[in-house]
Structure formats: structure tokens, C-alpha cells
């Protein structure tokens, strides 16, 4: 499927009313395209030639880098080319999976791909958290899906700050206790955001008001599932990505106790 760009589409049903109260809501189609019908999900691949060319160039540039870097690039391809991308236009829960792939799978694997400026761990953590939370502010989320430029600005910020965080956290000269407690803080703030989304009494994200019912789930149920995915899914992914930090902290504590 081709990227939808900034084309405008009618809901196709004048009886549908969005949260703003306007009938026949006109909404921009997100970068990954319109939400695919349930029977067409596995056909909804994003074949944007610019994206494919960019990923191919990146693969060539990292061909001599360690295997984790190449796997990280593969995770990016999975997130942006596979039907996960299109499905995230229909389900906020799929968007949550997409974000976990970027922040907790691709980013830690890509730390060896590029050397970013050294910053304090607290600054790297703050930048990552601010961008991630900003992505989930309803107004900013809606803006980010309104055009290709806004979408890629948000995605670039999400990936860059995540790589910066993991690169700083996993540096050998980062204090083991500081790295350990920062990793715990990352898990806790993800749990907090996931809980806030899960227990919100009303749907928050306008782009999904009219897209979830075709999958047999209401916008609120989809939002609750998204919060749970973020809340629960981020824990094991954080521990796997930060395993070196945990092992280093454990050795430090064992040495101190000996």
C-alpha cells in the first residue's frame, strides 16, 4: 500500500458523529494509510518508495556493524513497513505496540549504529520521557497524525531520544547505581502513563473515535488495551534491553556486600 500522505477522507457515513459533535467528520489519513479492513490486514504493507530506499541505504551503511545494529534496523522495518503501521491507524492499541517496538526494541539495539553527543544520564532520561509523554498528549497525538511531516517529526524525536537514553544508560562510564535506578524509573514512568491511559473514563484520542468498531472493539476498550500493553509490556522489554545494567549493578552490590 502507498502512504496516504495528507489526503483527506470522509468517514463515509454521515450518521457517524465524532467527539466534536460534527457530522460526517473529515479527518486526515495518517502516513501509514487508512485503517485496513479486518480481512485485509495482512495485505496492508507500507511500500512507500522513500521509506524503502531509506531503509535500504541504512542497511548498506550498517552492513559492517555488529549484528544487534542490523537486527535493530530490521525492527524498524517491521514497525514501519509491516501491517503494524497501517493497523496503528485504526487501533490505538496497535500504536502502543508500535511505540514499544521503537523505544524498547529498536532503540537499544541501535546504540552502536551512531555515536550521539555525551549528555548526563538525567538529561537523556528526561528527554526520552518528555518526548514519549508528549506523543500521548491527545492534541499532539492528533496533530502528529495530521500530516506526513508532523508524523515523521514525532517519530524522529521518539527514536533519537530513545537511542540517546539507551546509549547513555549502557555506557561503561555510567555509574552502575545511577543506571540501575534510572532503569527502574523508566519502568515506573511507563507504568504510570499506561495506568493513566487504561483508567481514563472516556476515549482520549480523536483519530480513533471512528476506526475501532470494525475490529469489534470500542474506542474506550481499545484505549484500555493500549494502556495495558504499555503498562505491562514495557516491563519485560525494559529488563531485557537493560540486562547489562542489571548485571553490572548486581556485581557492584555483590562486591560491596563481600
Break the chain into its structural domains and give their ranges.
8-257
Q: What are phi and psi of 114, to 5 degrees?
A: -150, 145
DSSP H helices, 170-218, are: 176-198
8 A C-beta contact, residue 142 and residue 202: no
d(CA 75, CA 61): 16
| Nearest C-alpha neighbor of 4 from the set 75, 74, 90, 79 | 90
d(CA 123, CA 255): 29
Cβ within 8 Å of residue 85, ≥6 positions away:
31, 32, 33, 44, 46, 79, 98
8 A C-beta contact, residue 94 and residue 102: no
8 A C-beta contact, residue 96 and residue 230: yes
C-alpha cell at 123: 538529561
| Nearest C-alpha neighbor of 8 from the set 36, 28, 31, 30 | 28
Cβ within 8 Å of residue 150, ≥6 positions away:
143, 144
8 A C-beta contact, residue 6 and residue 148: yes
pLDDT in the model for residue 25: 44
Q: Which residues of 129-164 are buried (b: 16+ CB within 10 A; e: fewer)?
A: bebbeebbeeeebbebbbebebbeebbebbbbbbbb
8 A C-beta contact, residue 146 and residue 215: no
Chain centroid to CA 225: 15
pLDDT in the model for residue 15: 36
Q: For the chain, which ranges sit under pLDDT 50?
A: 1-26
pLDDT in the model for residue 153: 96
C-alpha cell at 131: 518526548
Amino acid at each position: 500500500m502507498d502512504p496516504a500522505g495528507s489526503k483527506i477522507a470522509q468517514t463515509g457515513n454521515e450518521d457517524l458523529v465524532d467527539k466534536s459533535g460534527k457530522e460526517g467528520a473529515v479527518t486526515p489519513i495518517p502516513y501509514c494509510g487508512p485503517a485496513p479492513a479486518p480481512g485485509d490486514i495482512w495485505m496492508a504493507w507500507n511500500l512507500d518508495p522513500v521509506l524503502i530506499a531509506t531503509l535500504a541505504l541504512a542497511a548498506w551503511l550498517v552492513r559492517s556493524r555488529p549484528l544487534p545494529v542490523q537486527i535493530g534496523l530490521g525492527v524498524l522495518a517491521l514497525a514501519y513497513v509491516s501491517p503494524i503501521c497501517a493497523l496503528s491507524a485504526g487501533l490505538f492499541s496497535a500504536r502502543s505496540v508500535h511505540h514499544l517496538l521503537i523505544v524498547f526494541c529498536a532503540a537499544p539495539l541501535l546504540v552502536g549504529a551512531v555515536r550521539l553527543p555525551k549528555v548526563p544520564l538525567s538529561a537523556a532520561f528526561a528527554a526520552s520521557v518528555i518526548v514519549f509523554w508528549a506523543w500521548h498528549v491527545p492534541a499532539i497525538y492528533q496533530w502528529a497524525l495530521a500530516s506526513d511531516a508532523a508524523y515523521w517529526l514525532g517519530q524522529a524525536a521518539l527514536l533519537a531520544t530513545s537511542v540517546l537514553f539507551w546509549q547513555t544508560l549502557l555506557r561503561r562510564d555510567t555509574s552502575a547505581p545511577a543506571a540501575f535506578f534510572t532503569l527502574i524509573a523508566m519502568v515506573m514512568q511507563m507504568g504510570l502513563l499506561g495506568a493513566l491511559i487504561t483508567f481514563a473514563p472516556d476515549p482520549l484520542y480523536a483519530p480513533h473515535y471512528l476506526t475501532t468498531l470494525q475490529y469489534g472493539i470500542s474506542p474506550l476498550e481499545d484505549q484500555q488495551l493500549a494502556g495495558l500493553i504499555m503498562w505491562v509490556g514495557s516491563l519485560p522489554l525494559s529488563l531485557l534491553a537493560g540486562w547489562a545494567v542489571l548485571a553490572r549493578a548486581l556485581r557492584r552490590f555483590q562486591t560491596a556486600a563481600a
